[in-house]
Amino acid sequence: MQFSAAQIAVIISGTLEGAAEATVNSFGKIEEAKSGQLAFLANPKYEDFLYSTKASIIIINQSLQLKQPIAATLIRVPDAYSAFAILLDKYQQIRTQQLSGIQQPVYMDATVKLGDEVFIGAFAYLGENVTIAKGVKIFPNSYLGNNVSIGENTIIHAGVKIYHECVIGKNVVIHAGTVIGSDGFGYAPQQDGSLKKVPQIGNVVIEDGVEIGANTTIDRATIGSTLIRSGAKLDNLLQIAHNVEVGNNSVIAAQSGVSGSTKIGKNVMIGGQAGIVGHIQIADGSRINAQSGVSKSIKIPNSAVTGSPAYDYTAALRSQAITRNLPQLEKRIIELEKIIKEMMVNK
């Protein structure tokens, strides 16, 4: 696909500087881009590449003052990074919209309901009473169990497994290998020491605009629903346990785990490899540092915590600073002890 600078400027509401007829057909990093590619500059530390890049079109911030002339066509916007993200999203939408029809072989129960402009890849399985809305794209080797519902323009990538009764909203993206609705981890200890499985009869509800990375697992609720609220973004390799609730526009980075029945508020940011125990509350706007272990509720909104067990971020930094100074402090204490000892002898 080929786009002109004029077309791109319209898409991202930018201001053109240079040849409006300049065209590009791919993207490139500003330090590596070639002729016919589009690049962007958002981080000032890469500004030197602006004057040496071969890119044909470059998106830059309105505030950037040029140090020398540039051959490329520039498109100025308030925020180059956000504008570039909008453009990539548009490009991906165009590519995805080209997919349509049903490849073979596919298994679809006779009760399946399909909307318009749907794509279903080869070797997909759609069970009884599955509902697929307009514009949904289901890639090969995906599994949708009985009574699953998929909202408009959602993309289900290859190998995704969505168990029975689960509900997926509009404009959701679920990446390859993710499992939605597997059983929650629930067992009742018996008097003889054995463990009896507690049936997991709930489901998973994923609201609109959610994105879920590859090989993530979201367990179905014991009773009720495991909830991923609208706008949440989940990374690869996450474990979300039964009856968890992830709030609107919250972000969880890779290899983190959230135990059962924990409620995560809105606009929460959770770093990679963090672990959160079950049955606690995480207040809106909380920030949990990577590799933190959260063992109790975070009740104050917009708090930042770190460590294992996790506690206040600022206090943790002070503790780390003190720890680094311990060898010097020990040396000073030894010297003081010597001085005191000498004073006692001379007394």
Residues recognised as catalytic: 242
8 A C-beta contact, residue 226 and residue 189: no
Q: How distant, in Å, are the alpha carbons of 14, 119, 147, 155 from that of 133? A: 34, 11, 13, 11
**Selection from 82, 80, 86 nearest residue 57 by Cα:** 80
Residue with tokens 């505030």: 63
Residue 76 to residue 64: CA distance in whole angstroms: 9
The first and second tokens of residue 245, run together, are: 């609730």
Which string of b and e fits 262-286 if b means at least 16 CB within 10 Å? bbbbbbbbbbbebbbbeebebbbbb
Residue 207 to residue 220: CA distance in whole angstroms: 15
Half-sphere exposure (Cβ direction) of 229: Cα atoms closer than 13 Å: 14
Instruction: Identify the three-state secondary structure at position 342.
Output: helix
